[in-house]
Amino acid sequence: MARSLVRTALAAWHRDELIEDALCVITELVSNAVDHTRHSVIRVVVTRPADDRVLLKVIDRSHDVPRIRTDSDSDFGSERIRGRGLVLVDALSDRWGTEPHRWGKTVWAELKGAPPGPGGEARNAVGPDAGRPR
């Protein structure tokens, strides 16, 4: 459902160049929330704080602050399949972070696309980095 929400919002905002990266990011954020909270409800919010930016938020009731694991973490060996999601979030988003709440937290990621062209649509990028927000 979160992926469908993100895809629909980005398509409505003509931010198609961000869809693939945003779907990966929201998948990781939601997976983390489901894995690390003991509550059955999370909230997903998709906003557009500026024409060229999209903000993805996942809100849960856990107070555990996510952190990027590294190979030096004792429980993070090179053979471990899980636990690498925030590495993807960090690579695909322009910035990300957490906001603590009395009852839980919000984990958010912001993706930046091409500036809108005339008429509000995203410009088509050309070159080796086409489609990559930065």
Q: Which amino acid is at 129?
A: D
Across 109-128, average pLDDT: 66
Domain boundaries, the chain: 2-120
DSSP 51: T
Residue 33, H or E segment = helix 19-36
User: What confidence tens digit (pLDDT) does each residue in 62-109 have?
Assistant: 998 888 876 655 554 555 555 578 999 999 999 999 999 999 999 999
Distance between CA atoms of 64 and 102, rounded to whole angstroms?
A: 12
Nearest to 30 by CA among 112, 78, 86, 113: 86
Nearest to 110 by CA among 31, 66, 60, 57: 57
Which three-class secondary structure state does DSSP give residue 126? coil
DSSP 132: -
User: What confidence tens digit (pLDDT) does each residue in 52-62 have?
Assistant: 999 999 999 99
pLDDT value of residue 71: 61
CB atoms within 10 A of CB 36: 12
Query: Per mean pLDDT, which range of 14-18, 60-64, 115-119, 124-128 is the poorest?
Result: 124-128
Average pLDDT over the chain, rounded to whole?
A: 83
Distance between CA atoms of 52 and 35, rounded to whole angstroms?
A: 31
CATH of 2-120, one of 1.20.140.70, 3.30.565.10, 3.40.50.720, 3.40.50.620: 3.30.565.10
pLDDT value of residue 123: 45
41 conformational bin, left if phi > 0, alpha if psi -120 to 50, beta if neither = beta
Q: Select the highest-mean-pLDDT range: 2-11, 84-93, 123-132.
A: 2-11
DSSP 38: S
pLDDT value of residue 69: 72
